[in-house]
Every structure is written in structure tokens, then in C-alpha cells.
Amino acid sequence: MKTTVAIIGGGVSGLMLANLLHVAGIESVILERHTRAYTEGRIRAGVLEYGTVELLRKAGVSANMDAHGLPHGGFSLLHEGGKLRIDLTALTGHGVMVYGQTEITIDLMDACAARAIPLIFEAENVALHDIDSPAPFVTYTKNGTHHRLEAAFIAGCDGFHGPSRQAIPGAEASALEKLYPFGWLGILADVPPMDHELIYADHPRGFALSSMRSATRSRYYLQVGLDEKLEDWPDARIWEELSLRLHNGAAGHITTGPALEKSIVPLRSFVCQKLQHGRLFLCGDAGHIVPPTGAKGLNLAASDVTYLFEALVSQITQGDETGLKTYETRALARIWKAERFSWSMTMLTHRFPTQSAFDRRMQQAELAYLAQSQAAQKVIAENYIGLPY
């Protein structure tokens, strides 16, 4: 089989790139190692920067988001001094959209089917070959049969554990990483959210987040130790802890209900400084991971895809290789700014096991400054809605 762009990974970044390329008249094939049901069922982020919203519209897959997404003009920080609302719209002129990654994935897959974009599920043993030559190719097995996919370019959208990053010489040695000494316990339930906007809580017992996927489906998170086990957190204990950490007269009331999904995820920051080699280009989690505090994971994938899409179109339609040669530089510049914001939000709102009294006073001083300074609020707001591509 031959195509112009071989896309490894059928998550949001790979699906979005394929749909954008289709709109531009460029062929692609997507290889995904999981089943469609597994890929659609993954519970991930739900806060979209305004740039991501516009990108989905550009790809022609925004109808469901526009009909059912929840526009948010702000979010709140709960702290010892009370509740501080960051008015995104007033401070920046833009807001964000709450629309689940599961729904985005389904929308993009449906668009691939309608547009006859080849999407091959259960592609196993994927391997990349000759990526530094003008004729790279990918091999894989499907139902026990060996296949070869030839392409002009390869987009590695296969996540942190995929084969694409491992195919780049020196990629692992170039990576920079920070591991945080805690994780997030998440619960998803079909109950109304406690507030119409997201609430980030700084509490002596640890961080908590109130968010939602719709007007009737809520997503909550708790900071927990890395040694915590999911079986030690029955639903009743989770709801009780959330009520403690999110308790504030202005914060609203938590409606409880049975969990649809529960998970514990460790927090980490990771950046691979080599995002391209020859005809291979990394997008999304294949090249970087951010802690979820800043809601940047999916949105960084969208900016990577934007840069790569524009570069591929320029090269394929005009013979201009400038965008491809500078893809890594452009992507990393935005990645590090998002990493900084996610790190700063994590440091501000979480309690660390080795935190000193001085460290805590610094957090308190920062929160007090935010409450008093519109300039400081604007810095958070412009990062939260997404820096320009």
C-alpha cells in the first residue's frame, strides 16, 4: 500500500491531522494498534483552547462540539482567602470550550469513515524504516498477515509508549523529565456538576478539581499519594473527600452518584527535544507530556498538528520545505511555554510531601497576589485560553 502521509496512532492528534490533510486534498493512512471501541472509550481531557476549537472547525468536524459543547468564560480558584474567579473573556476576549476528548475522538473517526480516510485498527508490531531517506515505509501485522505501507512522510502520533519516538536516533537521550510526588484520582459520574465552571481547590488535605463533560456528567479529581491503590477508594470515600476539599459557601453543592470510571494517574512533565528526523515528525504525547493541571495535553497536540499540517501542505503543494525544516523549533517553543504554565499551576495548587513552611507561605503569597492583581490574572488567563500558534 502507498500513501502520501503515514500516520501512526489513531488518537486525537492522528485523526485530526488526517482530516485536515483530507480537506487540503492530501492522502493519508492511519494505523492504530487498538480496537475502535478501546480508542473511543479512553477517558481524557475535556477543556479546549479557543485555537483547538477553531482547528476542529477548520477540519470540518465541529458540528457536535458546536451543538453540545459548553463555552466557559472563566474558572475559579478556591483557597484559604475564598474563591477567586479568573474572568477569561474579560481579560483576553476569549474563553474555552468544555467538550470531552472521547466525543472528539468519535467525531473524528466518524469523519474518517464518511471521507473514506483509511483507518486500520489492530495494526500490531508497527515498525518504521528508512525514515532518513526520501522513501520511508512502515510495516505492521493485521490478523497475522504482514503488511508494508510506503509513504512520503510519517507522522508519529502514537503516544508516549509508541514506536515512533524510539525510531529517532538519540531521542530518549534528549528528553527532559520531571516526576511529581503524587497523582490524580479521577472519578466520572452521571451527576450535574457542582458549578457551571471549573473549580481548582487549594486545600490542606491536597488539591481537588471540579470539572464536567456535560451539563449532566461530572468529572472530579483528587490529589493522592503515589502509593494509593484504587481499591482503597470506594465511591463513598471519594465523594466525602471531594466535599471536604471543595467545601466553600460560594462553590456550590456536590451531587453524588455511582462512578462510571475511576483511575489514578501519576503526574509528570516530559519533553523530547527531538521531534523530527528525516521524514518522521512527532506530534502529541509521542513528544511531550504535561501534568493535567493546566489542561494542555490535548491542546498541545492540536498545536503540533497545526504546525505539521501547514508544513506538509507547503511542501506537497508548493515544494517549500521551510515549514518541515522548522517544525521542531516552532513546536518546542510553544511546548515549553505550556509546560511552564502546567508546572506553575501544579506548584501553586498542590501540597508537596516535603513542603516547608516557607514553601507554603510562597503559595499563599502568590494566591494573595493573584486575588489583588488584574495583571497577574491576565497572565494566567492568556495561558489558560491558549497562547497563539
- Please choose, from the candidates 22, 28, 351, the residue with its C-alpha nearest in 3D space to the C-alpha of residue 203: 351
Q: Are 186 and 100 in contact (CB under 8 A)?
A: no
| Residues catalogued as catalytic | 72, 200, 292, 296, 384
Q: What is the pLDDT of residue 43?
A: 65
pLDDT band at 39 (very low <50, low <70, confident <90, very high): confident
Please indicate whether the domains covering 5-71+97-176+269-344 and 180-267+351-385 agree at the CATH topology level: no
Note the pLDDT tens digit of each residue in 75-127. 999 988 789 999 999 999 999 999 999 999 999 999 999 999 999 999 999 99
Q: What is the pLDDT of residue 40?
A: 79
pLDDT band at 357 (very low <50, low <70, confident <90, very high): very high
Average pLDDT of the chain, as a whole number:
95
Note the pLDDT tens digit of each residue in 139-197. 999 999 999 999 999 999 999 999 999 999 999 999 999 999 999 999 999 999 999 99
pTM: 0.95
Determine what percent of the chain falls in helix, strand and coil, rounding each to the nearest 5. Answer: 40, 25, 35
User: Average pLDDT for residues 199-213, to the nearest whole number?
Assistant: 95
Q: Which amino acid is at 379?
A: V
User: Average pLDDT for residues 36-49, to the nearest whole number?
Assistant: 82
Strand (E) or helix (H) holding 105: helix 101-114
CATH for 180-267+351-385 (3.40.309.10, 2.60.120.260, 2.40.50.100, 3.30.9.10): 3.30.9.10
Rounded CA separation 345/77 (Å): 11
What's the fold here for domain 5-71+97-176+269-344? FAD/NAD(P)-binding domain (3.50.50)
Q: Where are the domains of the chain?
A: 5-71+97-176+269-344, 180-267+351-385
